[in-house]
Homo-oligomer: A and B are copies of this chain.
Amino acid sequence: MALANHFYQNLAGSYLFSEIAKRVNKYSAENPDKKIIRLGIGDVTKPLPPSVIAALHKAVDEQATAEGFRGYGPEQGYDFLRETIVNDCFAQFGFEKDEIFVSDGAKSDIGNFQELFDISCKVAITDPVYPVYADSNVMAGRAEAQKDGRFQGIIYLSCTSENNFVPELPKERPDIIYLCYPNNPTGTVLTKEQLKIWVDYARANESIILFDSAYEAFIRTPGIPHSIYEIEGAKECAVEFRSYSKIAGFTGLRCGYVVIPRNLSLKTKNGGSAALRDLWLRRQTTKYNGTPYVVQRAAQAVHGEQGKKEVKELIDAYLLNAKHIREGFANMGLTVYGGVDAPYVWLKLPINDSWKFFDELLNQVNIVGTPGQGFGLCGEGYFRLTAFGSYENTLEAVERLKKFKF
């Protein structure tokens, strides 16, 4: 019998959201009359904005005619979208369109990107963290399971209320540093000064920062960096991942992109160097066949004047939800973080058992959240709520909280 990739055996038994789904399904089956409000998984609920819908219909009509039909597109994305992105967001930092690589979403990009690095590379992640950063590296063989649920070979950067969720520089040098701001799951942000410490560190240590800015559009506080390239020197050490999922409701439409500075390189075993951009292009041309044309037209519409207006309304609505959730739990006497420049509210629990809190919240008031433990050791004792529900459901959830005893 052929041998399985044994690195897969190092993964934890169950993926966080599958476990949540299992518990919710069980409760639902046993209590079919209860209306469950889901503030757990980070999925949006509002429909696609009108500009996006119009762009989709138009692109579909093009695909119906011999003249307008587009088959295989460039694996790295159509020029029209790469140009739109660079002009709208990254030309100000000196980028050009061939440093933008379009994809079917940030999860694919972030999951696959580690493959460009040697298996020996050391990885640093914050804790708590979006599970894909660690899991994709475990599957590649860079880390092995430990008894405490962490992985040997990964450098953990603890983020708790003690350090105000600002990770400290590691003692051991990592090759790859995953940072996500606004943060998932804590909903916290870094100031320019705080982010500059990381950029300076990465430059001094020749580390590569993989910066996940999927939630940048939620930033409302002036001065908070939307892109890592607002920090001087970031083009020498950082790759940035962006997504249309949370901004414009693309979770079911699938589009994102990665910004790879032209001069960013890795060293090769023979003593030379390889441009990260070229490695990624090679990966994508071999194992990916481009983002659907109709979806790329939809993404382009997000950058238009009307699209921006609609997107701002969408995000304002979600941020209003976040405000209600914050207040609802604060009124219970819990300490709340995040939810100001991010769609996530991070609760500090009175007990150190976030799955117990999950079960209580589900059983008592039929609200689904995400146990902090699912995001890492440092997430234990915390709980994530998302602002992506409908306004009515969010208000009802807050109302139900008044009856919640914990």
Contact = CB atoms under 8 A, between A and B. Distances in A.
Interface of A: 1-6, 8-9, 11, 15, 18, 41, 43-48, 50, 53, 56-57, 60-61, 63-66, 68-73, 104-105, 107-108, 111-112, 115-121, 131-132, 135-136, 139, 175-176, 206-208, 249, 251-254, 265-270, 273-274, 279, 282-283, 285-295, 390
A286 B279 CA distance: 21
B71 A249 contact: yes
Contact of A72 (B48, B120, B135, B252): B252
Contacts of A115: 5, 139
Contacts of A46: 66, 69
A71 B117 contact: no
A286 B111 contact: yes
Contact of A70 (B57, B252, B289): B252
A287 B108 contact: yes
A132 B287 contact: yes
Contact of A136 (B118, B265, B286): B286
A118 B8 CA distance: 10
Contact of A64 (B45, B53, B283): B53
Interface centre among A2, A50, A136, A282 (most CB of B within 10 A): A2
How many copies of this chain does one complex carry? Answer: 2
Contact of A292 (B120, B136, B295): B295
A135 B287 CA distance: 9
A53 B65 CA distance: 10
Contact of A135 (B112, B270, B273, B286): B286
A5 B69 contact: no
A260 B7 CA distance: 21
A43 B72 contact: yes
Contacts of A249: 69, 71
Given A2-B267, A283-B139, A292 B63 contact: no
Nearest to A273: B1
B253 A3 contact: no
B107 A252 contact: no
Given A266-B1, A288-B111, A8 B282 contact: yes
Contacts of A68: 47
Contacts of A119: 5
B71 A48 contact: no
B1 A73 contact: no
